[in-house]
């Protein structure tokens, strides 16, 4: 447990203060600008705010940010060979992998909650913060934490076998989640965000997400937990037998 904690402390700090943090800052500025501008327009306050936070943050940027951090956390250490220290320690590789996963979830959750907060303040700070607005805010925060847990398991797995995991990550984030996840009918059920939005539709009663063709909160939660465990298990199995020449 001490060894896993050491990885969590080290990797979380490394992710949050890496150069990739600049991307998060730029995204936050972009969201502040878009939602800040939207707040000045003649829009219905609660539905518009919920739609922006759903479409812009949960729907579009969350998979991208998860991919940027998740696809690089282990891969960067393999490339710069700093992973040697972990691989030659007596820490079982299962716990080492879990250490990376937990640090990725923590970092991603912090970044996502900060971005959600920036978006929320930019929009509702101008249009008025009340209990309904706060309800949307807290729901999106929790959804982004759930998304961080699921996407982290996926992108951490992708980063192991591929030397350029960003390409596959980009394909997934834009084509799979962005395109297939937007199609009508049941085909959208193959995208992670369908289940995140399904949970959101139960929690948020404003905007398009409230009327989303959902799969049901219990079923969606089970699917998300299931695929997270599945991706983690595959990642652990692969990491345990992977050679590091």
Partner 1 sequence: MKAPIISAKNLSKWYGQVIGLNNFNLDIMPGITGIVGPNGAGKTTFFKLITGMIKANVGELQVLDQKPWMNTAIHAKFGLCPDYDNLSDDMTGREFLKLSGGLHAMSGAGLDKRISEVSEIVGMTDAIGRKIGGYSKGMRQRIKIAVTILHDPSLLLLDEPLAGTDPLARKEIIDLIFSLHREHGHDIIVSSHVLFEVERMTKNVALVYKGRAVASGHISEIRGLIDKHPHNIVIEGEGLLELAKRFLDMDYIVSVGFSQDKSSIHVQVLKPDSFFNDLPQIVADMDCDITRLHSLDDNLEAVFRYLVGW
- Which residues of this chain interact with partner 1, rule CB under 8 A? 2-3, 5-7, 9-10, 14, 80-82, 84-93, 240-241, 243-245
For partner 1, the closer of residues 1 and 131 by Cβ is: 1
Neighbours of 132 (CB within 10 A): 17
As measured in angstroms, the least distance from the Cβ of 81 to partner 1 is: 5
As measured in angstroms, the least distance from the Cβ of 178 to partner 1 is: 35
As measured in angstroms, the least distance from the Cβ of 88 to partner 1 is: 5
For partner 1, the closer of residues 44 and 92 by Cβ is: 92
As measured in angstroms, the least distance from the Cβ of 230 to partner 1 is: 23
For partner 1, the closer of residues 12 and 210 by Cβ is: 12
> Which residues, other chains included, contact 17 with Cβ-Cβ below 8 Å and sequence gap of 6+?
none
For partner 1, the closer of residues 53 and 73 by Cβ is: 73
As measured in angstroms, the least distance from the Cβ of 78 to partner 1 is: 11
For partner 1, the closer of residues 10 and 203 by Cβ is: 10
């Amino acid at each position: 447990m001490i060894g896993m904690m050491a990885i969590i402390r080290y990797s979380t700090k490394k992710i949050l203060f890496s150069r990739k943090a600049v991307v998060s800052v730029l995204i936050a500025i972009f969201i502040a600008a878009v939602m800040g501008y939207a707040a000045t327009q003649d829009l219905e306050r609660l539905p518009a705010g919920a739609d922006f936070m759903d479409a812009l943050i949960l729907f579009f940027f969350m998979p991208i940010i998860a991919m940027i951090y998740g696809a690089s956390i282990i891969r960067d250490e393999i490339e710069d060979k700093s992973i040697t220290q972990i691989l030659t320690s007596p820490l079982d590789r299962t716990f080492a992998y879990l250490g990376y996963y937990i640090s990725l979830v923590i970092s991603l959750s912090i970044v996502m909650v900060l971005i959600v907060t920036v978006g929320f303040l930019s929009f509702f700070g101008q249009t008025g913060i009340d209990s309904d607005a706060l309800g949307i805010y807290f729901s999106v925060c929790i959804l982004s934490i759930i998304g961080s847990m699921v996407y982290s398991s996926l992108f951490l797995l992708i980063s192991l076998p591929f030397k350029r995991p960003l390409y596959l990550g980009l394909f997934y984030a834009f084509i799979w989640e962005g395109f297939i996840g937007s199609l009508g009918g049941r085909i959208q059920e193959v995208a992670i965000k369908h289940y995140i939005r399904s949970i959101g539709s139960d929690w948020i009663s404003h905007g398009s997400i409230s009327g989303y063709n959902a799969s049901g909160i219990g079923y969606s939660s089970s699917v998300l937990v299931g695929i997270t465990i599945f991706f983690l298990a595959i990642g652990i199995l692969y990491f345990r037998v992977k050679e590091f020449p």
